[in-house]
Amino acid sequence: MSLMERLQNVDSRIIYVLLLIALSLPLLRPIGIPLQTDPMVRAVYDIIEGLDPEKDRVLLSMDYSPGAGLDAEVSPVAVVEHLAERGIKWVAISFGTTDGPMMTNRIIADLEARGYEYGKDFANLGYMAGEENAVRLFALDCLSVPTDVRGNRTDQLPVMQGIKTIKDFAFVMQFSMGTPEMWIRQVVDPMGIKFATGTVTVSVPSIVPYFNSGQVKGVMGGVSSAAQYELLCNKPGRGAALMDAQSMGHLLIILFIVLGNIGYFMVKDKKDNLAAGQ
Amino acid sequence: MQISTNIWQWISVICIFGMWSLPLYKDNPFYRVCQNVFVGSCAGHAIGIAIGNIVNYGFEPLFTQSKIDLLIPVILGLMLYTRFFPGVAWLSRWPVAFLVGVGVGQTIYASLRSQVINQSIAAMTKFPQPTVGATINGLVSLIGLLSILTYFLFTVPQSGVVRGMSELGRWMMMVTFGVGFGNVVSGRLSVLLGELLKIFGDWLGMI
């Protein structure tokens, strides 16, 4: 069996191990590959920079699960860090997954450890069942959620004072593992709110048309967007730390694809020549 | 290097190794234990949240604030369970019909506006755009839209100009699928990186 034929039948475990090595080395010894900022990511940053900490409040719809890993989690962490740094109050709620409140609590625990105050600086309203209908109901009456995850009455939380409908929030951002159509259908278009979305990398191409049409004002997709956002905020965090490894992983996969294709066409040519010779 | 003494970090990392044992070795009891722990804990968490929701949104306002109108959704919800009793199983269709009706009614009109009309308006680009790059982007977008729509034009014979446009549409879709696949690879790498960060960072303290 020639080298090219062997390339067609590489044991997938070899590829896994090579990938693990390619990802691990830059994690332990970062290279510092420069990052370009995407206009969709900068748009989110600019919106938050434009908010007034004295009066503006932000709603975060936390619709992602632990299964999506860091690809879903780093974006909300970066945005919440920016909100906290600017002193902008925010409220979280979940419509798309029952895991949302738990993921929010992870972020809140870190903020509380640094002195931020639950109820005053932020609140977690938990999970509201009903998906699209629930989004619509909450948009029309934000106090339809009776209590938050800690059992406090929603209408008595300091951060919720003056909030009646979703239009009372200066900015709404959804963090999910998919696309934000239900928000666009039920809230963004009918009520005209300022809306952005953070999602996993795989869903970004499906959201770009909504960014181009202006229905979504900003998009963050996965670890790379979070890394760009962290650098915009001058606070490199987990996203930025992972980008070298991510780039090395991409290079290795490109190499595999190129080698695999070279092998395929060379073996195909050899077979064609043999067939022509017969 | 400072290995974590937190038991949850250990459990987390052991479960990561358990899940990796499937692709790197083969199906084995270690993998299945970790998989079942994950499925079980997810199911348990979802049940806990569901019970909390029933109490928070249903029973508490109904009994403590006397919101009698909540009896209707509570009864409809209970009717869903009549499917377990063959004699009255037909009753479960009523709440399902209600849910489907409300869901479809809520979605259809909004989809037309947001995903058909507003997207069509956005596709009508003015030429030329302020910059050369934006003009090229607009042209690619417009040609892509028209050629892909032509590809799915089944009522006209695929010959001549229509065939050319259709072929271009097929290429446009292939490029789109390539972009989608690239994003899938990137997303999966991010998930793997999260696990490596947990191993090298949270567990071994090397980062």
pLDDT, tens digit, 9 for 90 and up, residues A102-121? 999 999 999 999 999 999 99
pLDDT in tens, A14-72: 999 999 999 999 888 888 788 899 999 999 999 999 999 999 999 999 999 988 888 89
Look up residue A11 and give its amino acid.
Answer: D
Residue B207: per-residue pLDDT: 81
What's the CA gap between A22 and A251, in Å, rounded? 9
Residue A94 above 90 pLDDT?
yes
Instruction: Report DSSP state, residue B201.
Output: I
Nearest CA in chain A to B183: A202
Q: Which residues pair with A63 in a beta bridge?
A: A176
Give the pLDDT confidence of A235-276 residue by residue, as tens digits.
888 888 888 899 999 999 999 889 888 888 888 887 788 887
CA distance A87 to chain B (A): 29
Instruction: Return the bridge partners of A61, or none.
Output: A93, A174
Domain-embedded: residue B91? no
Structure tokens at A104: 């929010």
- Annotate A182-231 with DSSP letters as a single string: HHIIIIIHHH---EEEEE-GGGHHHHHHHHHTTSSS-EEEHHHHHHHHHH
Residue of chain B minimizing CA distance to A137: B106
Q: Does B206 map to a domain?
A: yes
- The values of phi and psi at residue A62, to 5°, are -95, 95
pLDDT of residue A49: 97
> Which amino acid is present at A157?
L
pLDDT value of residue A262: 87
- All structural domains of chain A with their residue ranges: 3-30+243-277, 39-236
C-alpha to C-alpha distance for B90 and A247, rounded to whole angstroms = 57
Phi and psi at residue A237, in whole multiples of 5°?
-125, -145
Q: Which tops the pLDDT comparison, A236 or A214?
A: A214
Question: Hey, which residues 62-101 in chain B have their CB within 8 Å of chain A?
Answer: none
Would an 8 Å CB–CB cutoff place B39 in contact with chain A? Answer: no
- CB-based contact A70 B194, cutoff 8 Å: yes
Cα→Cα distances A205→A35, A70, A110, B152, Å: 20, 19, 32, 21
Instruction: Give the pLDDT confidence of B66-76 residue by residue, as tens digits.
Output: 889 989 988 99
Q: Is residue B194 part of a domain?
A: yes
B120 interface with A at CB cutoff 8 Å: no
Using a CB-CB distance cutoff of 8 angstroms, which residues of chain B are in contact with residue A16?
23-24
Residue A8 has pLDDT above 80, yes or no: no
Neighboring chain B residues of A102 at a CB cutoff of 8 Å = 45
A122-127: strand order across its sheet? A122-127, A89-94, A57-63, A171-176, A195-199, A219-221
Q: Which domain holds residue B153?
A: 125-207
The shortest CB-CB distance from A71 to any of B50, B111, B191 is to B191
3-class SS at A57? Answer: strand
Directed axis angle between helix A238-277 and helix A222-232, to 10°?
Answer: 140
For chain B, which residues score pLDDT lower than 70? Answer: none
Closest CA to A110 of A71, A83, A137, A142: A83
Alpha-carbon distance A274 to nearest alpha carbon in chain B (angstroms): 32
Determine the Cα–Cα distance for residues B42 and B48; give it in Å rounded to an integer. Answer: 10
Q: Is the peptide bond before A205 cis (omega within 30 degrees of 0)?
A: no
Query: Given an 8 Å threshold on Cβ–Cβ distance, is A242 in contact with B119?
Result: no
CATH assignment, A39-236: 3.40.50
Contact A128, A145 (CB under 8 A): yes
Taking CA–CA distances from B114, the nearest residue in chain A reads A185
Residue whose structure tokens are 């105050």: A117
pLDDT at A1: 67
Task: Round to whole Å and give the CA distance between A97 and A94.
Answer: 7
Q: Report the gap between the CA of B157 and the closest CA in chain A (Å).
A: 30
Query: Do residue A188 and residue B114 have CB atoms under 8 angstroms apart?
Result: yes
Is B188 within a domain?
A: yes
* Per-residue pLDDT reduced to its tens digit, A156-193: 999 999 999 999 999 999 999 999 999 999 999 999 99
- Distance between CA atoms of A163 and A157, rounded to whole angstroms? 10
Q: What three-state secondary structure class fits A11?
A: coil
Q: How far apart are CA A63 and CA A198, in angstroms?
A: 10
Residue A278: what pLDDT?
Answer: 63
Cβ–Cβ < 8 Å for A175, A198: yes
Q: Is B2 inside any structural domain?
A: no
CB contact under 8 A, A71 and B183: no
Assess contact for B190 and A205: CB atoms under 8 A.
Answer: no
Q: What is the ipTM of this complex?
A: 0.84
H or E element: which one contains A211?
helix A204-212
Task: State both tokens at A92.
Answer: 């979280």
Structure-token pair, residue B46: 């979802």
Contact A4, B180 (CB under 8 A): no
**Tally of structural domains, chain B:** 1
pLDDT of residue A7 exceeding 80, the answer is no
